[in-house]
Amino acid sequence: LIGIRFDRSKPERKTPDRIVVAMSDPSDFMALDSIRASTNMEPVAAVATRAQIADALQTAYLESPLSLEEAVGELKDFKVETTSELGDADDFQRLKSEAGLAPVVRFVNSMLFEAARMKASDIHIEPQEHHLRCRFRIDGELRVVAPPPKELQNAIVSRIKIISALDISERRLPQDGRLKIRFLGRNIDVRVSTMPTVYGEKVVLRLLDQSGTTLNLDDLGFEEDVVTSMRRIITAPHGIVLLCGPTGCGKSTTLYSFLRELNTTNVNIVTVEDPVEYRVEGINQTHVKSKIGLTFANCLRTILRQDPDVVMVGEIRDLETLEVSVRASLTGHLVFSTLHTNTAISAVTRMTNMGLQPYLISATLNAILSQRLVRKVCKACAKPEPLQPLAREALERCLGQTVDFEVMQRVGCPECGYTGYKGRLAVNELFEPSDEVREMISHGIEEMKLVEAARADGMKFLIDNAWRKLKAGVTTVEEVLSLGFQKAEDAASLTRAHKQGSTEEVVFETEDQEGQTLDFDANPPG
């Protein structure tokens, strides 16, 4: 379509003198005039959401002009001289020259294009002893994609450094940078992290789709009662609302949905983040810089002098940040933040262990939302299947619920990349302490008794929500088990047991550098 925003309209069908066009805004007369002029037909508008139009366009038209496999094929026929250790200025100049060669540029562009098309959250470029591995993280799982030749490892890494404004001559220290992608009308920020390994520099690119900031509570897949409760909780005049869960469980997306609900002209919202993941119009966002003393706690103290109504703290990492957050809530501010705990109620224990007095937790805590992400079965190929008796008994022991229904079994098809899954949804639990539970918290009552009291008050836990998702047929037994509910003695009886491990993060103090913007809408790779 000539001169038409591809993320807003798509031709569906036509007759000799008419063309039916799916449009997100049927009153867009300029688009209708453009269609009329470019097709010599009378357009008839049919209403569709932008997401539906984008998905249809991606399926119908948007195969990469140069696929990743084709780009890798070009590289295999392309030979350059490389050095394992770079030293003099001539070596650096040669590496810079290699990074600008057409096959290298096309490979990097095609890799970014394919990752955006497949809705990957991360790209991993990993040097091994004899080869270079490339993987995309899609729906939380890493998938191997076509690997480039090992000989071009330095050139590819240098190309990524160039477009993300990093120093190509520095290979001994970690670096952080950024670049931007425009794809199907979506603006995607890419955070770039390099780290030296024994076989060369490992590069991870995190794709942050800025359309995530347009999601509201209704778009997150929460049950209706949770959405209703959260809308009431986040409109309180003061107090603390916490989100809990492991890294990558969607806490940031949920936090930004809270801010979107409150982002009006009569509300002053200020955030302190490390780093700022999504940039939102109308919200005042601050980036932590620990090297110069701009910590979470110091930022918070300054924010409290900025007349805020709502404060969002990216993460509570220490007692100082926690105490300043509590002080903010006690002085009439609504504070949102996150903690890395496995359950909602364990966040109370974590705050106590950090050194906060229990009576302050009781006085300021509005609610804690804990969440995980599970993969959704592909609607195109999933099929219901009865559980074997032993597996059913073991699953019922794990969930504490009767499983008297068929469960969905993943199959795999072209629609889902033969994984059986497409997309993810949240499994959550909401802890909103009653007056009785607040009294227990203020007296430092142990966690298990808080759990019992919350259950008596009607609280639904992660395990209850997982059971409902399984019964609704939107996920599988494997995904429910990946949440870690199963007992060791039940693992052999189940279809598949996932064990949830823990990873320890090593944080390097680096400066984010702002890089280029790659507009794939205007200039597709190839």
pLDDT (tens digit, 9 = 90+) per residue, 53-90? Answer: 766 655 554 444 445 666 556 555 444 444 444 445 55
Residue 496's region, left for phi above 0, alpha for psi from -120 to 50, else beta, is beta
Contact between 477 and 398 (Cβ < 8 Å): no
Question: Residue 348: enclosing H or E segment and its boundaries?
Answer: helix 346-354
Q: Where do the structural domains in the chain lie, given as residue ranges?
A: 9-60, 68-211+510-519, 215-373+426-460, 379-419+464-495
Residue 139 has pLDDT above 80, yes or no: yes
Question: Residue 21: enclosing H or E segment and its boundaries?
Answer: strand 18-23
CA distance 179 to 518: 8
Pick the CATH number of 68-211+510-519 from 3.40.50.720, 3.40.50.300, 3.30.450.90, 1.10.3470.10: 3.30.450.90
Partnered with residue 287 across adjacent β-strands are 273
- 180: helix, strand or coil: strand
Contact between 133 and 145 (Cβ < 8 Å): no
CA distance 330 to 121: 37
Whether 68-211+510-519 shares its CATH topology with 215-373+426-460 is answered no
CA distances from 202 to 65, 96, 107, 437 (A): 27, 18, 17, 48
Would you give the DSSP letter of residue 289? Answer: B
Q: What's the pLDDT band for 6 if we cut at 50, 70, 90?
A: very low
**pTM, 2 dp:** 0.73
pLDDT tens-digit map of 202-223 = 999 999 888 766 678 888 888 8
Contact between 359 and 442 (Cβ < 8 Å): yes
Contact between 86 and 169 (Cβ < 8 Å): yes
- What CATH number labels 215-373+426-460? 3.40.50.300
Torsion of CA 323, 227, 273, 239, to 10 degrees: -20
Contact between 373 and 424 (Cβ < 8 Å): yes
Beta strands 239-244 and 200-209: pairing type? unpaired
Q: What's the pLDDT band for 52 if we cut at 50, 70, 90?
A: low
Angle, CA of 348, 316 and 368, to the nearest 5°: 40
Residue 364 has pLDDT above 90, yes or no: yes
Two structure tokens written together for 193: 């992290």
Question: Residue 75: enclosing H or E segment and its boundaries?
Answer: helix 68-76
Residue 246's region, left for phi above 0, alpha for psi from -120 to 50, else beta, is beta
Residue 30 has pLDDT above 70, yes or no: yes
